[in-house]
Amino acid sequence: MPKMVRRAGSDALTRRAGHESAADRSGSSRDHHIGALFEAVLTRGPLSRRDAARITGLSAASVTKLVRPMIEHGYLVENTREAGVPGRPQIPLQVDAARHYAIGIKLMDGEIVGVVADLHGEVQSSHRMRYPDTSPTGVADAIEAMTATLLERSPVERERLLGIGIGLGGHINGAAGVVVESPFMDWHNVPLQDVIAQRMQLPVVIENDVNTLALAEQWFGAGSAFNSFALVTIGAGVGCALVLDGKLWRGVSGAAGEFGHMIVDSNGPVCHCGKRGCLEAVVSDSAIAAAMSHSAGRKISKVSQVVAEAHAGDEDAQRAFTQAGVALGRAIAALLNLLNPPLLILSGEGIAASDLFIDALHAELKHDSFSSTAADCRVIVRPLPDEVWARGAAATMLRHGVMHSLSRLTDQVSA
């Protein structure tokens, strides 16, 4: 696929040469302000203009100017039922949930979960299906069938449907629309965004799946009250997404957050990435099963068996989880030392067994962190099912589409 390789490569070169991406170019200060205002009302609303000004740091006059076209174009509505004292009306603003919808897809190896979500992140319909063919064409077939089912169950006016957001594991260059590396799909430099957009004749965005989950948490979940937070997921692998000063941090090519490949034990097991002692090679489901197999001297292939035996009091099984908790605590301490975030959300299917490792994690975290970085950070363990990940993919599409539309509205705002 030479064309695909060239595309990803030229994108990286352009960025290295210091040119702005399309997203950067559109980022005038007014675009930035209207986007920030919209996000403030979305995540904290209903919100008075005065509170919106306080949260965004914009002047009252700027808020009034920017709100007007957003109301005219149906993005914001005035919630008159929650108006304040007569004579001093502070009519709260809120986002009109029905202004836009998006389809969100969590793409897994052989299985996809899809949702239709509105602008409040409310899921209108959801569906889960298996698919046999994990080639890009096979995935396009599956997404086409999924979209048809979702829209059948929850009819949405075509003009209100912004498009399809797709989240999947691996190194995803969302700005270029390319899956750079997806180990579980065995894809390299696949232009998935174009493949699906051509098939569906709808706008499409693609993003690393942990990043989509972070966007869902930022807009609709535990992160909505925080300007910065880290999200770490554990299970089959280890994922991480970073929201810093209100923005998802993707890095120069979308590879930021490869926390799972932080080396925590240079004598540890070999990781699938080829290096030795990566966090993922120590704390993933298969690593925990392998650690117990080694210490117990018998073959254990599934982590669920380790969980069951640990709960039944088996010391080898309990030790396998304690060791994973220590490694995770050590790595999270490094993350907190580096970023000093106020919130860390721990999720992923691996947290179902968090009772077996959370104490070891906290003890190591306290021990390894610098000064007050551990005390400054609230660590919450949050189960987020696949539908929430898919909702995050929808949120990614909603954000992309809405920010684009809002930037066009700023033409109507006098400077």
| Binding residues vs Zn ion (CB under 5 A) | 261, 271, 273, 275, 278
> Which residue, 183 or 246, has its beta carbon nearer to Zn ion?
183
Closest approach, Cβ 71 to Zn ion, in A, equals 50
> Which residue, 12 or 263, has its beta carbon nearer to Zn ion?
263
3-state SS record for the chain: CHHHHHHHHHHHHHHHCCCCCHHHHCCCHHHHHHHHHHHHHHHHCCECHHHHHHHHCCCHHHHHHHHHHHHHCCCEEECHHHCCCCCCCCCCEEECHHHCEEEEEEEECCEEEEEEEECCCCEEEEEEEECCCCCHHHHHHHHHHHHHHHHHHCCCCHHHEEEEEEEECCEEECCCCEEEEECCCCEEEECHHHHHHHHHCCCEEEEEHHHHHHHHHHHHCHHHHCCCEEEEEECCCEEEEEEECCEECCCCCCCCCCHHHCECCCCCCECCCCCECEHHHHHCHHHHHHHHHHHHCCCCCCHHHHHHHHHCCCHHHHHHHHHHHHHHHHHHHHHHHHHCCCEEEEECHHHHHHHHCHHHHHHHHHHHCCCCHHHHCEEEECCCCHHHHHHHHHHHHHHHHHHHHHHHHHHHCCC
Closest approach, Cβ 285 to Zn ion, in A, equals 15
> Which residue, 175 or 271, has its beta carbon nearer to Zn ion?
271
Closest approach, Cβ 164 to Zn ion, in A, equals 31
> Which residue, 128 or 261, has its beta carbon nearer to Zn ion?
261
> Which residue, 271 or 336, has its beta carbon nearer to Zn ion?
271
> Which residue, 156 or 279, has its beta carbon nearer to Zn ion?
279
Closest approach, Cβ 279 to Zn ion, in A, equals 8
Closest approach, Cβ 262 to Zn ion, in A, equals 9
Closest approach, Cβ 282 to Zn ion, in A, equals 10
